Amino acid sequence: MTDINAYETAPEAEFGDYVALLKPRVMSLVVFTAFVGLWVAPVDVHPFIGFCSILFIALGGGASGALNMWYDRDIDAVMNRTQGRPIPSGRVQGTEALGLGIVLGLISVMMLGLVANWFAAGFLLFTIFFYAVVYTVWLKRWTPQNIVIGGAAGAFPPMIGWACATGGITVESLLMFALIFFWTPPHFWALALFMKEDYHKAGVPMLTVTHGRRATRVHIFAYTLVLAPFAVWLGLTSIGGPLYMAVAVVLNAAFIRGGWQIMRRAEDEAVADGYAVEKRVFKLSLYFLFLHFLALLVQGWIGGW
Amino acid sequence: MALHAEHDLHSRRRSRNTGLGIVLLAFVALVFALTVVKVRQGGLVEAFDHQPRVSLTPVEPAPKAAP
């Protein structure tokens, strides 16, 4: 007698699962900031060349996302938020994600070199390496300052966009980097205060767990203070102007105020009102970055100082 | 379930194949468009054609005018 058994296995991947490996939501931030970096640069770029540059910067970012998902598959399987990702849910094999990440990374770097210039391509390669190796492999599981350093990877795209147009690095592009770099810690730690994710279960050191929530609150305030001068300084450079300056001053004042309120609160106060202030500051931080870059975009369009 | 009903597995496979097909076609179109843009930006390109041509010979410095 012959038996036919249909084993319950994980469903095969569909196209969207491979797209999900590239972290489309992170990519949208990369696209926006890289576009602003390219747009405000003092060199005119052919619109189609500009479009392709942004596309391949985004693809490079996606490749590093896939490499991150490959390496972090053990953590992702443990944490609630990430259990549904393609690898932990069994739809995509870990090695597939590794292969996809490497191949897409190489394609994006080669194409960016051909489209724009090899300096920008090298910069993109460095960014992929930084996110996939320096952050994901070396630092994420080792130090509670992981997201500070990981923030650098998210801060490179406007510099790459600028490099696509100009072929180099200037004070303007470094200040755009600083804007995102110092924005990331308060943004992320505000989220960590009210999300209370199971990072400790996964063995990832988070500041809220290793140094306590009190220290995290102090850190948030400190970073909003460090961030403000860089945001205003950017307004004094060639890509700044009255509009950007007004936006920067208002938003940074609001962000520092939010950081101050977070620092002054005790944990039981926060629990009592359901982390209302932390949630408000987190929401503000989202607008903070978006509006800064939008202001740069508009300022570049209408002309600066 | 009717015999001709499509299994979930096949619809997933089709999704992958169609998706990859679209991506590859888009890539081809992109490289072609990029080629057109790059060639137009480069201005006129003349290659050596085994015949000396004025437009390809090196420019000689103009002789200094006698004082």
- Residues A176, A158 contacting (CB under 8 angstroms): yes
- Quickly list DSSP for A143-166: -TTHHHHHHHHHHHHHHHHHHHHH
Domain final residue pick, A168, A187, A214? A168
Chain A partners of B11 at a C-beta cutoff of 8 Å? Answer: 14
Q: Quick: pLDDT tens for A71-121.
A: 999 999 998 888 899 999 999 999 999 999 999 999 999 999 999 999 999
Which CATH number does the domain housing residue A162 bear? 1.10.357.140
> What is the average pLDDT across A280-284?
96
B19 touches chain A (CB under 8 A): yes
Indicate if A185 and A157 belong to the same structural domain.
no
Same domain, A229 and A157: no
The per-residue pLDDT of chain A, averaged, comes to 93
Q: How far is B58 from chain A (nearest CA, A)?
A: 29
Q: What is the pLDDT of residues A177-227, one digit of tens each?
A: 999 999 999 999 999 898 877 787 888 888 888 898 999 999 999 999 999
Are A219 and A206 members of one domain? yes
Query: Which value does ipTM take for this structure?
Result: 0.84
A9 found inside a domain: no
Domain total for chain A?
Answer: 2
Through-space distance between the first and last CA atoms of chain B, rounded to whole angstroms: 103
Q: State pLDDT tens for residues A25-64.
A: 989 999 999 999 999 999 999 999 999 999 999 999 999 9
Residue A215 lies in a domain: yes
One domain for residues A51 and A183: no
**Same structural domain for residues A124 and A42?**
yes
Of all residues in chain B, the one with the smallest CA distance to A111 is B31
Interchain proximity A48–B37, CB inside 8 Å: yes
Q: Give yes or no: residues A61 and A195 share one domain.
A: no
The string of DSSP letters for A96-144 reads HHHHHHHHHHHHHHHHHHHHS-HHHHHHHHHHHHIIIIIIIIIITTT-T
Measured between beta carbons, the chain B residues lying within 8 angstroms of A18 are 16, 19
Contact A278/A215 with Cβ under 8 angstroms?
no
Closest CA to A173 of A238, A125, A229: A238
For residue A92, give its domain range.
14-168
Residue A270 placed within a domain: yes
A142 and A184 part of one domain: no
A136 Cα to chain B: minimum distance (Å): 28
Per the CB < 8 A criterion, the answer to whether A162 and A220 are in contact is no
Q: Has residue A203 been placed in a domain?
A: yes
Give the residue from A113, A142, A168 where a domain finishes. Answer: A168
What's the predicted TM-score (pTM) here? 0.88
Amino acid A50 reads G
Interface of A with B (CB under 8 A): 11-16, 18-19, 46, 48-49, 52, 55, 114-115
Same domain for A18 and A155?
A: yes
Nearest to A52 among B11, B15, B30 (CB): B30
Q: Test B15 with A14 for CB contact under 8 angstroms.
A: yes
Look at A6-10, A274-278, B9-13, B38-42 and tell me which has the smallest mean pLDDT.
A6-10
A-B Cβ pairs (cutoff 8 Å, strict): 35
Domain termination residue (choose one: A168, A190, A217): A168
CA A78 → CA A197, A202, A203, distances in Å?
11, 6, 10
Are residues A189 and A220 in contact, defined by beta-carbon separation less than 8 angstroms?
Answer: yes
Q: Are A220 and A259 in contact (CB under 8 A)?
A: yes
d(CA A223, CA A219): 6
